[in-house]
Amino acid sequence: MEFHSPDSWREALEVKAAQPEAVAIFGGTDVMVDLNFDRERPGAVLDLTRVPELGEWGEGDGRLRVGAGVTYTRIISELGSELPGLAMASRTVGSPQIRNRGTVGGNLGTASPAGDALPPLYVSDAEVELASTNGTRRVPVVEFITGPKRNAMRPDELIAAFHIPRAEGPQQYAKIGTRNAMVIAVCAFGLALRPERKRVGACLGSAAPTPVRAREAEEFIESVLDWDSRGEIGDTELRRFGELVGEAASPISDVRGTAAYRTHAVGVLARRTLGWAWDEYRRGE
């Protein structure tokens, strides 16, 4: 097995161009499990942890560019107020040891339907920045994730960063699992309110082959929310929102839960998170 550990981005892209089959590794929290269990035996591995740019983030005109190698721990401690939904989702990932190593870039690379970083990216219409020696391109995250464990990255490309607007209002993330730590989501739900545009982003995780936006639920609730006077949401409307989110699910039954349970539970998460986010908005936070 060949091992490359370039210390510049340029060099990393050159390695990937010369050896498109090389497997990139950052935190290793997905890659190493495959290597340790002999599920994968790549001819070459490309370590990206020495590329300084990947660990950087910055802000310009209200949008953030976050390097693919920023860990969950850093998202929680450095970006909690800019990206509260993603920070909440990051807190649910694995354990301190996993959050100290695991990255959003790796979550995008793995493209698991249960990836906890993904719903927050979906609800904020984030874009993934891909790079190769031929240049860079930006792909909306909904187009980047193409199926379970599949994404739109070409073999000669690497993930440089993701671009995401700073939160425009309250955000939430909730996840169901058998314990409070170290669980792959049975189902999960991300929510973002954008009061200035009177828009709501709603995304289901672990309830379909990819994360999915609940467009009907979004449109329904946008039209009934009392944005200007910040009135309470009626019980009927909350319930309807939950139902419509449930209808957006196309889950499977597996060891973690049945399809029926997932559909029901994700609706409950939707109802609750909307209640929390709307309360926060009403309090004017």
Tell me, by CB under 8 A, how many residues bind another protein.
Answer: 28
Output the smallest distance, CB 63 to ligand FAD, in A: 20
Residue 218 binds which entry of another protein, ligand FAD, none, CB below 5-8 Å type-dependent: none
| Contact between 141 and another protein per CB under 8 A | no
Among another protein, ligand FAD, none, residue 67 binds (CB under 5-8 Å by kind): none
Q: Which residue, 98 or 259, has its beta carbon nearer to ligand FAD?
A: 98
Contact positions vs ligand FAD (CB under 6 A): 23-31, 33, 48, 68, 92-94, 98, 101-103, 105-107, 109-110, 115-116, 158-159, 182
- Least Å distance, CB 168 to another protein, is 29
110 near another protein, rule: CB under 8 A: no
Give yes or no for residue 41 binding another protein (CB under 8 A): yes
Residue 225's alpha-carbon distances to 200, 221, 270, in angstroms, are: 10, 6, 15
Using H for helix, E for strand and C for coil, what is the string for the chain? Answer: CEEECCCCHHHHHHHHHHCCCCEEECCCCCHHHHHHCCCCCCCEEEECCCCHHHHCEEEECCEEEEECCCEHHHHHHHCCCCCHHHHHHHHCCCCHHHHHHCEHHHHHHHCCCCCCCHHHHHHCCCEEEEEECCEEEEEEHHHHEEECCEECCCCCCEEEEEEEECCCCCEEEEEECCCCCCCCCCEEEEEEEEHHHCEEEEEEECCCCCCEECHHHHHHHHHHCCCCCCCCCCHHHHHHHHHHHHHCCCCCCECCECHHHHHHHHHHHHHHHHHHHHHHHHCCC
Report the nearest approach of another protein to the CB of residue 51 (Å): 12
x/- mask, another protein, residues 2-21, rule CB under 8 A, reads xx-x----------------
Taking the least distance from each CB to another protein, the nearer of 41 and 283 is 41
Is 1 one of the binding residues for another protein (CB under 8 A)? yes
Q: Choose among ligand FAD, another protein, none what residue 36 binds, the Cβ cut-off being 5 to 8 Å by kind.
A: another protein
- 96 touches, from ligand FAD, another protein, none (C-beta below 5 to 8 Å by class): another protein
Query: For residues 276 and 269, what is the distance between their CA atoms, to the nearest angstrom?
Result: 11
Residues that bind another protein (CB under 8 A): 1-3, 5, 25, 27-29, 31-33, 35-37, 41, 45, 47, 49, 94-98, 100-101, 180-182
